[in-house]
C-alpha cells in the first residue's frame, strides 16, 4: 500500500520543475543530460558542497552534506544527513540558499535570511534505540518498521539520503562506535540491516551502507590497515555487507577511512569494483566518508564517485586529472551517472514539499523497539515488579539517562525520558529523599562537567549529554539504609556514554568504576539485610564486564541506549507491561583478556605503531561466539542469551531439502503463564573435512508473534547452500562441503533445545576472484590445536 502511495506521489511529480522552469531530470534522462554537461560541471557534481550548516537549493539545516545543482539542466542539489538511530538535522529553521554560477563556472551561493524568519518549523527527529539494541530484538519486521519511520521523518523534512546503516562487525568491545553497529555475527547484522534499508527506501529515501569495510576501531581509523586473511575478510567482515547489498540494494555505499589489503578502501579497485560491483552486482553510488582526502584520481578510478564533504580545489583536481588522462572520460561519466542516478530518484527531484511527520506514531515505535530490545540477564523472580511498589532508585544515570551515543549518530530529539520519570509515569512510588539528593547531584555534576555552557538547549539534550560519574555513596549510607527500611525494592542504574570520536577504555568504562562497584555492594548489602531485592539496569552502549558482580543483584536488565523514550521503555519491562524478548547480539566474556582480538587492539591515546598504523587480525574468523563456543571458553553470558517472564517449548522439528535449499521448521509453544515472544535461533554445525570451522554458526533466525500462554507458532527458516559455505582461500572459492550437517535451535549458541541432521550429498562451490589478500601473511589463531582443552 505504502509503495503504491509513493509511486503515485512520484507519478504526480513527474513534471517537477526547477525555479527557472527547467524540468527536473528523471532516471530516464541520465545519458542525455550527461552528454550536455561540460567537464567542469561533471567535476562539480562529484564534489560535495563544503557547507555544513547551510544547504543549497532546499532547506535542511544540519544535514551532513549536499551535492551541487545545475539548474539549467534540471539537476537539483540533494542533501545527505546522518544517521543510524534517527535523522540528524538541526531543529531550527534553515535558510534557503540558492546557487548562481559566475562566468567561470564558480558557484556563488546566496542565503535568503527572510526564509528563516518565515519558517516557524522545528524539525526535531525521533531518537530510536541504538542499532545494537535493534539487533537485540532479533526482529526483521521491527527493523523494517524502524526504517520506515526514519524514512518518513526524512521525507517530511526534505532529507534525500540517510547516511545509515552502519554495519561493521563488533570485533572488539572497545570500539567506540559499536553502539551504531549491530552484532558480532554477520548474518544477524546483514539480515537486520537489509530490512532496515528496505524500510527507509520503501518511502523513497536513500540509504548509505557504511563503513565499507573493516572500520572496527576509532583509534588510528583514518589510516589503519586492517590486515586479515581472505577467509576472515569474506566470512566475517564482508558477509553482512554482501547480504545487505544483495537483498536490499542500498542507493549508496560509504567507503570507510581505513585500508584493506594495504590500500585505502575508497581507492581500492579490488574492493569497490571487482567485488562490490563485479561479484555483488551493486549499481548505486559509492561516496567517501567525510573530510579525509585521498588522491582524487584514485578515488574516481575506483568509482568512489561522490567526494564528501568536498572542497573547491577538488573540482580543479578532477578537471586536471581528466585533461591529463589520469581519469578517462568514460570513468568520469560513469561516476557522474552514479551521482545523478541518486539525484533523479531523490525526494527533491520528486518536488519535495515540507510536511509534518507522524511523531506520535514514531515515538510509540521507538518505545516499542526499546522494550523489545532489552535483555533480561538474570532474574530470580524479582521481576516484574509489583504494580505501584515503592522503589529506591540509585545511580546518577537513573536521573539523567542516556538515549544514545554522541557524534554523527546523534539525533536532535525534543526530550529524553529519564528512568526516574519513566518509573513514576508507570505508577511506581519513588523514594523522595534519593530523588532529591540525586537531582541536586545531577544538576551540580552536569554544570561542573559542561564543556559547552553557551550552547542552546537542543544541543545540550543531544550532542553533549553524556553519562555522569557516580557519586561516592559511602557518604550517604544513612540514605541507603533508610531506603532499605522503607522501600519495597532497589533499582540501581549503571550508565555509560560512547561516541564516534574515541574508543572505549578498559578501566572505568568496560570495567565498572570503583564508585559503581561500591554502589552495588552498598545497596545489595543493605537491601538483602532487610530481606529485599535489588535490580540492576544497564543503560549502556554495549558489552561490559559483568562476571565479577552480576550475581550480586537479584535481577539484571540490559537496557542499551534505548532512545528518547528511555525511562518509559525501562518501566515497561520492569513493570511487566512488556515481557522481555531481547537476546544478546554479542557474547559477554568473563574478562576482556579472554577476547582473542584483545591481543591486537589499540589503546586510547595511541598515536602510532602496531594496532594504530596497521592491525593484524590474528584471531581470524574466531570472532565472538565463534571463538568462545568452539574453544569451550567460559563466558559470562553467551551469544543469543536472554530470559523471559514466561517459558517456551520446542517440538516437531523437521528438516527438508529441495534443490539448493534446506528448510528447517519447529513449533514453539508458550509453556508459561504470561504472553511473550520467542526468538528461534537456528545454528548449523558443518562438516570440517577440509578446513577448521566454528562448532556452530548462526544460519537463520525468526521471532514469533506475541504468544499467549499455551499458544503455539510454527516457524520455518530457509537456508540456501551458499549461506552454509566457508571460504577456501587456497582455491579462491566458497565451498559448502558434502557430508552431514547438524542443525539446532538454541536458547543461546550454547544451549541446544532441538536438533536434527541433514546431508549435502555433493559439495557445492562458488569460484571468486583472488583479491584483497593482506600485504603480509597474518599469523592466525589455530583454534583446534592451540585452544581446545
Exposure letters 490-525 (e unless 16+ CB within 10 A, then b)? bbbbbbbbbbbebbbebeebbbbeebbeebbebbbb
| DSSP sequence for 7-62 | HHHHHHTTT-B-TTSPBPP-GGGHHHHHHH--HHHHHHHTB-B--SS--SSS--TT
* Closer Cβ to ligand BGC, 163 or 205, answer by number: 163
* Closer Cβ to ligand BGC, 48 or 495, answer by number: 48
* Closer Cβ to ligand BGC, 211 or 677, answer by number: 211
Backbone angles phi, psi at 439, to 5 degrees: -60, -45
CA distance from start to end of the chain: 57
Give the position of cell 518565515: 118
Least Cβ distance, residue 307 to ligand BGC (angstroms): 13
* Closer Cβ to ligand BGC, 82 or 503, answer by number: 82
Distance, CA of 429 to CA of 347 (rounded, Å) = 48
Query: 717 and 680 in contact (C-beta within 8 Å)?
Result: yes
* Closer Cβ to ligand BGC, 97 or 164, answer by number: 164
Beta-carbon contacts of 113 under 8 Å, excluding residues fewer than 6 positions away, are 95
Q: Within a 10 A sphere around the Cβ of 427, how many other Cβ atoms?
A: 11
Query: 766 and 725 in contact (C-beta within 8 Å)?
Result: yes
* Closer Cβ to ligand BGC, 154 or 396, answer by number: 154
Query: 637 and 547 in contact (C-beta within 8 Å)?
Result: no
Residue 150, judged by CB atoms within 10 A of its CB (0-12, 13-18, 19+), counts as: buried
Backbone angles phi, psi at 14, to 5 degrees: -60, -25
Least Cβ distance, residue 313 to ligand BGC (angstroms): 20
| DSSP sequence for 690-731 | SS---S-EEEEEEE---BPTT-EEEEEEEEEGGGG-EEEGGG
The conformation of residue 636, written as its DSSP 8-state character, comes to E
* Closer Cβ to ligand BGC, 84 or 589, answer by number: 84
Q: Which SS3 state, helix, strand or coil, does residue 186 take?
A: helix
| DSSP sequence for 514-555 | HHHHHHHHHHHHHHHHTT-EEEEEEESSS----TTTTTSSSE
Q: Which SS3 state, helix, strand or coil, does residue 79 take?
A: strand
CA 531 to chain centre: 41
Q: Which SS3 state, helix, strand or coil, does residue 500 take?
A: coil
Residues of the shown chain interacting with ligand BGC in the complex, contacts defined by CB under 6 A:
64, 82-83, 163, 210, 289-290, 408
Catalytic positions are: 289
Query: 736 and 763 in contact (C-beta within 8 Å)?
Result: yes
Least Cβ distance, residue 64 to ligand BGC (angstroms): 4
Least Cβ distance, residue 309 to ligand BGC (angstroms): 8
Instruction: Output helix, strand, coil percentages for the chain, rounded to the nearest 5.
Output: 35, 20, 45
The enclosing H or E element of 80 equals strand 79-81
* Closer Cβ to ligand BGC, 252 or 267, answer by number: 252
Least Cβ distance, residue 738 to ligand BGC (angstroms): 43
Distance, CA of 509 to CA of 206 (rounded, Å) = 35
Amino acid at each position: 500500500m505504502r509503495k503504491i502511495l509513493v509511486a503515485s506521489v512520484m507519478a504526480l511529480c513527474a513534471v517537477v520543475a526547477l525555479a527557472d522552469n527547467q524540468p527536473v531530470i528523471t532516471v530516464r534522462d541520465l545519458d542525455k543530460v550527461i552528454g550536455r554537461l561540460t567537464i567542469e560541471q561533471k567535476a562539480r557534481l562529484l564534489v560535495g558542497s563544503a557547507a555544513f550548516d547551510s544547504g543549497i537549493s532546499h532547506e535542511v539545516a544540519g544535514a551532513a552534506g549536499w551535492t551541487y545543482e545545475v539548474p539549467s539542466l534540471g539537476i537539483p542539489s540533494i542533501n545527505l544527513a546522518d544517521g543510524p538511530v534517527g535523522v540528524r538535522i538541526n531543529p531550527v529553521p534553515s535558510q534557503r540558499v540558492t546557487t548562481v554560477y559566475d562566468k567561470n563556472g564558480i558557484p556563488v551561493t546566496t542565503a535568503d535570511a527572510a526564509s528563516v524568519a518565515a519558517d516557524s518549523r522545528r524539525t526535531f527527529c525521533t531518537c530510536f534505540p541504538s542499532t545494537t539494541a535493534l539487533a537485540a530484538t532479533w526482529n526483521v519486521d521491527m527493523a523494517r518498521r524502524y526504517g520506515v519511520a526514519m524514512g518518513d521523518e526524512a521525507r517530511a523534512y526534505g532529507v534525500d539520503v540517510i547516511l545509515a546503516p552502519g554495519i561493521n562487525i563488533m570485533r572488539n568491545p572497545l570500539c567506540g562506535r559499536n553502539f551504531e553497529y549491530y552484532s558480532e555475527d554477520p548474518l544477524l547484522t546483514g539480515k537486520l540491516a537489509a530490512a532496515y534499508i528496505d524500510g527507509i527506501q520503501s518511502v523513497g529515501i536513500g540509504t548509505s551502507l557504511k563503513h565499507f569495510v573493516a572500520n572496527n576501531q576509532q583509534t588510528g581509523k583514518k589510516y589503519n590497515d586492517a590486515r586479515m586473511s581472505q577467509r576472515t575478510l569474506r566470512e566475517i567482515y564482508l558477509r553482512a555487507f554482501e547480504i545487505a547489498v544483495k537483498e536490499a540494494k542500498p542507493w549508496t555505499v560509504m567507503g570507510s577511512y581505513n585500508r584493506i589489503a594495504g590500500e585505502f578502501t575508497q581507492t581500492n579497485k579490488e574492493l569497490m569494483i571487482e567485488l562490490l560491483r563485479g561479484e555483488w552486482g551493486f549499481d548505486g553510488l559509492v561516496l567517501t566518508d567525510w573530510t579525509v582526502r585521498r588522491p582524487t584520481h584514485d578515488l574516481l578510478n575506483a568509482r568512489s564517485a561522490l567526494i564528501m564533504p568536498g572542497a573547491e580545489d577538488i573540482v580543479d583536481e578532477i578537471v586536471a586529472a581528466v585533461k591529463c588522462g589520469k581519469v578517462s572520460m568514460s570513468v568520469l561519466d560513469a561516476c557522474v551517472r552514479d551521482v545523478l542516478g541518486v539525484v533523479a530518484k531523490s525526494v527533491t527531484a520528486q518536488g519535495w514539499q515540507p510536511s509534518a511527520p507522524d511523531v506520535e506514531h514514531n515515538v510509540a515505535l521507538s518505545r516499542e523497539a526499546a522494550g523489545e530490545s532489552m535483555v533480561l540477564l538474570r532474574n530470580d523472580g524479582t521481576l516484574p515488579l509489583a504494580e505501584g511498589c515503592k522503589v529506591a532508585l540509585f545511580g546518577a544515570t537513573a536521573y539523567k539517562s542516556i538515549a544514545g551515543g554522541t557524534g554523527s549518530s546523534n539525533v536532535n530529539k525534543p526530550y529524553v525520558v529519564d528512568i526516574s520519570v519513566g518509573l513514576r509515569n508507570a505508577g511506581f512510588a519513588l523514594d523522595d529523599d534519593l530523588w532529591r539528593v540525586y537531582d541536586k547531584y545531577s544538576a551540580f555534576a552536569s554544570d561542573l562537567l559542561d564543556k559547552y555552557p553557551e550552547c542552546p538547549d537542543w544541543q545540550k539534550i543531544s550532542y553533549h549529554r553524556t553519562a555522569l560519574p557516580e557519586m561516592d555513596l559511602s557518604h550517604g549510607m544513612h540514605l541507603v539504609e533508610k531506603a532499605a527500611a522503607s522501600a519495597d525494592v532497589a533499582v540501581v542504574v549503571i550508565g555509560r556514554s560512547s561516541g564516534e570520536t574515541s574508543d572505549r577504555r578498559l578501566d572505568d568504562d568496560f570495567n565498572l568504576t570503583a564508585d559503581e562497584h561500591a554502589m552495588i555492594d552498598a545497596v545489595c548489602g543493605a537491601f538483602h539485610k532487610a530481606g529485599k531485592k535489588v535490580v540492576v539496569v544497564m543503560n549502556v552502549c554495549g558489552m561490559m564486564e559483568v562476571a565479577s558482580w552480576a550475581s550480586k543483584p537479584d535481577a539484571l536488565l540490559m537496557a542499551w541506549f534505548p532512545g528518547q523514550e528511555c525511562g518509559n521503555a525501562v518501566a515497561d519491562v520492569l513493570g511487566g507491561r512488556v515481557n522481555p524478548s531481547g537476546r544478546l547480539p554479542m557474547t559477554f566474556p568473563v574478562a576482556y583478556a579472554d577476547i582473542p582480538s584483545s591481543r591486537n587492539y589499540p589503546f586510547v591515546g595511541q598515536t602510532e605503531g602496531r594496532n594504530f598504523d596497521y592491525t593484524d587480525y590474528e584471531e581470524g574468523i574466531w570472532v565472538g561466539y565463534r571463538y568462545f563456543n568452539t574453544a569451550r571458553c567460559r563466558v559470562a553470558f553467551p551469544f543469543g542469551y536472554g530470559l523471559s517472564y514466561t517459558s517456551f517449548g520446542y517440538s516437531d522439528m523437521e528438516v527438508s531439502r529441495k534443490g539448493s535449499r534446506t528448510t528447517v521448521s519447529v513449533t514453539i509453544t508458550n509453556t508459561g503463564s504470561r504472553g511473550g515472544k520467542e526468538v528461534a535461533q537456528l545454528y548449523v554445525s558443518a562438516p570440517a573435512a577440509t578446513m577448521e570451522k566454528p562448532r556452530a554458526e548462526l544460519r537463520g533466525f525468526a521471532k514469533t508473534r506475541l504468544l499467549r500462554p499455551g499458544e503455539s507458532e510454527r516457524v520455518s527458516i530457509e537456508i540456501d547452500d551458499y549461506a552454509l559455505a566457508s571460504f577456501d582461500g587456497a582455491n579462491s572459492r566458497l565451498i559448502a562441503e558434502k557430508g552431514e550437517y547438524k542443525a539446532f535451535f538454541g536458547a543461546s549458541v550454547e544451549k541446544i533445545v532441538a536438533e536434527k541432521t541433514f546431508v549435502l550429498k555433493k559439495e557445492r562451490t562458488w569460484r571468486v576472484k583472488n583479491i584483497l589478500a593482506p600485504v603480509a601473511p597474518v599469523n592466525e589463531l589455530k583454534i583446534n590445536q592451540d585452544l581446545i582443552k
